[in-house]
């Protein structure tokens, strides 16, 4: 993904998170402001009730009544039905007290339970806001992560598809141009028969290259769409490998040497055509990435109820971090526009998918004695 796109995505994500965090902080501030408001309302109610009690006592005195403490408490209880306030006498009530002194003598305080109820309500709201905010932030972060992965995956897929188109264009253009050139040369007069034979062989090699490309594309498409049905039968892996090696020896222009060590092995249950494509892709990779006059070694042996097929080449070692990536569709190490080797990024993808259908496995290791790779395939033996 381009750096500018990633930077823009992170800036927008950070802005959204900051905006939501500020909104949550504002809610909490509003919640605590409501707490202060409730506390003041409780205190105002206590003061209003005390003034009311003072007025009632003064009114009783004005009409000749002399209410005692019990009578005042009775009046207070009548006004304080819910028990939200408490009455205390700081002085003994005496007839003729001034309003100021009487106000000091009648002390009305809020019941602590009222504060506890308000605090509990505010606490519940705070927990609600915080928990909902955290859940929403986590969901939003998770959504952003999924969105980022989706965008990155889509971008990578587009890049790989563009690389695939560039590779396929090159793979098609080169043999077609070669065949065209050879046909034009053969059409001229005075061309020796030996030269014509060489041109025919070169044209056949280019046609086989095109055929392999088409087979890979069709096989990948059929496997992805579930349209390819594997026809399992007993297959002699030794014979199939020998046939494919001989074909590569005839068409190999890099003067590479193939060494084989085939032990006795039982037949494997496999689809001959699919295994044929697997072998062609593995041999093609070894030939393609190994230098001229390199030695490519092939071994077949039985071990632990499995048939092992091992290809050892002298190509550039595959980095350990790329071992899993090379099986991805269209994936190729490096950039298509600067890469020297040819290919479509479908070879090892097809190999992996075909082997999965055969309950077989593949392992890629780096050589320890010299630069190169080891491809080891394990097939279950037929019983």
**DSSP per residue over 182-197, as a string?**
HHHHHTSTT--HHHHH
Give pLDDT, residue 341.
61
φ/ψ of residue 252, rounded to 5? -80, 120
| CA proximity to 265, closest of 286, 235, 290 | 235
Side-chain-facing half-sphere of 158: CA atoms under 13 Å: 8
Q: Are 342 and 301 in contact (CB under 8 A)?
A: no
φ/ψ of residue 195, rounded to 5? -65, -40
Q: Could you read off the pLDDT of 202-239 as tens digits, one per residue?
A: 787 778 778 877 887 888 888 888 888 889 999 898 99
| CA proximity to 88, closest of 68, 113, 70, 106 | 106
Q: Are 105 and 89 in contact (CB under 8 A)?
A: yes
Separation between Cα atoms, residue 210 and residue 177, nearest integer Å = 12
Give pLDDT, residue 20.
79
| CA proximity to 151, closest of 255, 16, 254, 6 | 6
The length of the chain, given as a count of residues: 383
Fold of 162-225: Helix Hairpins (1.10.287)
Give pLDDT, residue 56.
83
Fold of 233-380: Heat Shock Protein 90 (3.30.565)
Give pLDDT, residue 181.
81
Q: For residues 339-357, b (16+ Cβ closer than 10 Å) or e, as one string?
A: eeeebbbbbbbbbbbbbee
Distance of CA 260 to the CA centre of its chain: 43
Q: Are 224 and 182 in contact (CB under 8 A)?
A: no
Separation between Cα atoms, residue 210 and residue 229, nearest integer Å = 23
Sequence ranges of the domains in the chain:
3-147, 162-225, 233-380
Separation between Cα atoms, residue 383 and residue 381, nearest integer Å = 6
Separation between Cα atoms, residue 24 and residue 100, nearest integer Å = 47
Residues 6+ apart with CB under 8 A from 15: none
Q: Which residue has the tokens 């071990």?
A: 303
Q: Which residues of the chain have pLDDT under 70?
A: 1-2, 80-81, 167, 170-171, 252-254, 334-343, 383
Give pLDDT, residue 352.
92
Separation between Cα atoms, residue 310 and residue 298, nearest integer Å = 6
Distance of CA 363 to the CA centre of its chain: 24
| CA proximity to 350, closest of 199, 218, 207 | 218
- For the whole prediction, is pTM greater than 0.75? no
Give pLDDT, residue 55.
85
Give pLDDT, residue 356.
92
């Amino acid at each position: 993904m381009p750096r500018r796109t990633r930077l823009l995505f992170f800036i927008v994500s950070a802005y959204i998170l900051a905006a939501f965090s500020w909104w949550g902080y504002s809610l909490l501030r509003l919640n605590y402001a409501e707490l202060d408001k409730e506390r003041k309302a409780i205190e105002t109610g206590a003061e209003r009730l005390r003034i009311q009690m003072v007025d009632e006592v003064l009114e009783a005195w004005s009409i000749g009544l002399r209410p005692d403490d019990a009578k005042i408490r009775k009046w207070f209880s009548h006004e304080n039905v819910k028990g939200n306030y408490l009455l205390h006498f700081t002085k003994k009530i005496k007839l003729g007290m001034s309003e100021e002194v009487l106000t000091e003598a009648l002390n009305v305080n809020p019941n602590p339970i009222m504060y506890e109820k308000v605090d509990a309500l505010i606490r519940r709201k705070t927990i609600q806001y915080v928990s909902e905010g955290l859940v929403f932030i986590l969901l939003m972060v998770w959504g952003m992560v999924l969105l980022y992965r989706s965008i990155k995956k889509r971008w990578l897929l587009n890049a790989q598809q563009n690389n695939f188109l560039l590779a396929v264009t090159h793979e098609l253009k080169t043999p077609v141009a070669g065949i065209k050139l050879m046909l034009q040369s053969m059409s001229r007069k005075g061309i020796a028969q030996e030269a014509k034979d060489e041109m025919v062989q070169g044209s056949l090699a280019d046609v086989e290259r095109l055929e392999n490309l088409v087979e890979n594309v069709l096989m990948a498409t059929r496997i992805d769409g579930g349209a390819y049905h594997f026809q399992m039968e007993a297959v002699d892996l030794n014979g199939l490998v020998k046939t494919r090696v001989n074909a590569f020896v005839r068409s190999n222009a890099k003067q590479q040497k193939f060494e084989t060590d085939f032990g006795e092995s039982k037949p494997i249950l496999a689809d001959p055509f699919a295994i044929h494509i697997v072998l062609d892709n593995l041999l093609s990779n070894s030939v393609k990435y190994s230098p001229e006059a390199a030695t490519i070694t092939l071994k077949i042996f039985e071990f632990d109820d499995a048939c092992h097929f091992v290809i050892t080449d002298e190509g550039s070692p595959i980095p350990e971090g790329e071992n899993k990536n090379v099986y991805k569709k269209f994936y190729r190490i490096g950039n298509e526009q600067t890469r020297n080797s040819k290919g479509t990024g479908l070879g090892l993808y097809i190999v992996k998918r075909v082997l999965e259908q055969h309950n077989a496995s593949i392992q890629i290791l780096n050589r320890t004695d010299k630069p190169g790779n080891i491809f080891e395939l394990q097939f279950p033996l037929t019983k």
